[in-house]
Amino acid sequence: MADRPRRGRFFWWRSVRARTTLAATAVVAVALTAAGLAVLAVLRHNLVDSANLQAETTAREVVSKLAAGTDPARLTLPDDDSQPVQVVSVDRRVLAAGEGVRGQPPMADYGPHSKSSEDDEDDEDETSDDDEEEDDKDEEEDDKDEQDAQTPSGPAAASAATDEATFGDVRLTVDGDGPHPFRVAALAAITPNGQPATVYAGASLETADSAVADARHAMLIGLPPLLVVVAAVTWLVTRRALRPVEAIRAELAEIMDGDLSRRVPEPAARDEIARLATTTNATLAALEASAERQRRFIADAAHELRSPIASLRTQLEVAQAHPQLLELDGLIGDTVRLEHLAADLLLLARLDAGEQPRSDRVDLGTLVRDELSHRAGDRIAVDAALPDDAVVVTGSRTQLARVLGNLIDNAQRHAATTIRVGLEHTIGGKAVLTVADDGPGVPDGDRDRIFQRFVRLDDARSRDDGGAGLGLAIVRDVVQRHAGDIRATDGINGGACFVVTLPTVHS
């Protein structure tokens, strides 16, 4: 048990379900917090606008009473603690005040007649005086000075020009209780004796602050339960969505024991998980087929190797017991056959392992001439029809020579009197290599089967004459690795013709 590899522990917080739940809850929390802050901001803005409107309305009512000739001492002002009102002169004396702020200094220091406004007016007057002195020295600007002298100035002009209320936040003590926040509006006014004044009217912000605080409190109370609900729903939904994935994982874990005939369950819903299950089953089917081909290949290879090895052993045992009966020709034949079979098996193993051919430039015309020059002792002479120009393809020269050699060997076993090799360059950028014979031909039903491994047709069952049944299988695999195609058609006088199509360099 100590030698067995340890598997990593599975922690629930590392699962997709936990990470999804955490991410969804965090996103909802951030979104709700941002939305809550926006709602609170809008709520306070609306309540402050309402307070502004209330304070401005009260101030304008007082201004209207002063304009109607009501003496400040006899003004009827609101006695509500939430609506303090003061009438303040230019010299900051309180001319009238509501009950809540009676006897108190001015509630605000801004407005049309505040100290800052007077300082601005003084600066304007000083600037005007300096301009007048300069204009006295320059006779050409006398007309401009006269126009400036006729321009109205002073508090009366400022009061006449000011028609908009000025607002500010102030903390006031009303009836000895406080201080409390108020929104105060300042408006310019003219007393019945013609003196400028400022009317200050306030509106309490306690209602606004209380409403905002209540809303914030309600949001803080409701946020955690809502996040718990979101997390629970996300956890359950994710669990239900990932249940088919867990079923697929469990089935694959059992399939790992070696039973490739089993398949993972496919959900009824046509979603991504269903497509994953379909792809997984297709992969399992391909693996099963590959494993079956491998087992069959190993069994056939063992069967094919057993015969020449048994024959060699028998002949060697006979030669050991009776040296005079030793047949060297039989031993050499079986050895050569065993050598070819081993080479074919090794090549097929490399092709099955995914070995890619080299990317050399190969002239098929030269390749055919070289191959035929090495086969001068064949049973039937081979006729070749080759083009004058070069037909160049990309690939492995050794493997392409193996293709041509296997096709000619196959033709030599079946041809009666004639074997022809043709090569042409099609308009579509393809090189077409043909090997035809006048033998018995290939039946239509066997033209695909003959390219399978260890397949022999009925008239080629003899292992001595028909080979191991790997030649055409090697041809097909090599041609496919070179992005080509091979097919069997009718040859000379009903014989067989194998057509190899390869892409040329120009294509």
Lowest mean pLDDT among 152-156, 248-252, 261-265, 417-421: 152-156
Given a contact cutoff of 8 angstroms between Cβ atoms, the answer to whether 288 and 263 are in contact is no
Lowest mean pLDDT among 63-72, 159-168, 316-325, 479-488: 159-168
pLDDT at 103 over 60: yes
Write out the DSSP string of 67-90: HTT--GGG------TTS-EEEEET
Percentage of the chain with pLDDT > 70? 83
Dihedral (C-alpha) 336, 341, 342, 344: value to the nearest 10 degrees?
130
286-301 average pLDDT score? 76
Q: List phi, psi (to 5°) of 102.
A: -70, 135
91-120 average pLDDT score? 80
**The pLDDT value given to residue 19:** 87
Q: Where are the domains of the chain?
A: 68-206, 258-355, 356-503
pLDDT at 153 over 60: no
pLDDT band for 426, please (50, 70, 90 cuts): confident
DSSP helix/strand/coil, 467? coil
**The pLDDT value given to residue 119:** 52
**The pLDDT value given to residue 179:** 86
pLDDT band for 8, please (50, 70, 90 cuts): very low
pLDDT band for 9, please (50, 70, 90 cuts): low
| CB-based burial label for 177 (10 Å; 0-12, 13-18, 19+) | exposed
User: CB under 8 Å to 507, separation ≥6 — which residues?
Assistant: 428, 429, 430
Give ∠ CA 110-113-116 in degrees, rounded to 5.
60
Three-state SS across 197-252? EEEEEEEECHHHHHHHHHHHHHHHHHHHHHHHHHHHHHHHHHHHHHHHHHHHHHHH
> Which residues are paired to 167 by β-bridges?
185
pLDDT (tens digit, 9 = 90+) per residue, 445-469?
888 888 887 776 654 444 445 466 7
Q: Which CATH architecture best describes the domain 258-355?
A: Orthogonal Bundle (1.10)
Given a contact cutoff of 8 angstroms between Cβ atoms, the answer to whether 441 and 491 are in contact is yes
pLDDT at 316 over 70: yes
Task: Tell me the CATH number for domain 356-503.
Answer: 3.30.565.10
151-172 average pLDDT score? 60
**Dist CA 236 CA 17 (whole Å):** 9
**Most confident residue range from 228-237, 319-328, 498-507:** 228-237
Distance of CA 52 to the CA centre of its chain: 51
Element at 188 (helix H, strand E): strand 177-190
Q: Which stretches of 322-428 are DSSP H helices?
A: 328-352, 364-373, 397-414
**The pLDDT value given to residue 233:** 93
What's the CATH number of domain 68-206, 3.30.300, 2.120.10, 2.130.10, 3.30.450? Answer: 3.30.450
**Dist CA 330 CA 312 (whole Å):** 8
pTM, two decimal places:
0.51
Who wins on pLDDT, 353 or 4? Answer: 353
> Which residues are paired to 500 by β-bridges?
433, 486
DSSP helix/strand/coil, 315? helix
pLDDT (tens digit, 9 = 90+) per residue, 28-45?
999 999 999 999 999 999
pLDDT at 431 over 60: yes
493-507 average pLDDT score? 86
pLDDT (tens digit, 9 = 90+) per residue, 220-276?
999 999 999 999 999 998 888 888 888 888 888 888 777 777 888 887 777 788 888
Write out the two tokens for 160.
Answer: 């006449």
**Most confident residue range from 91-95, 271-275, 294-298:** 91-95
Strand order in the sheet with 382-385: 382-385, 419-425, 430-437, 496-503, 485-490
**The pLDDT value given to residue 378:** 86
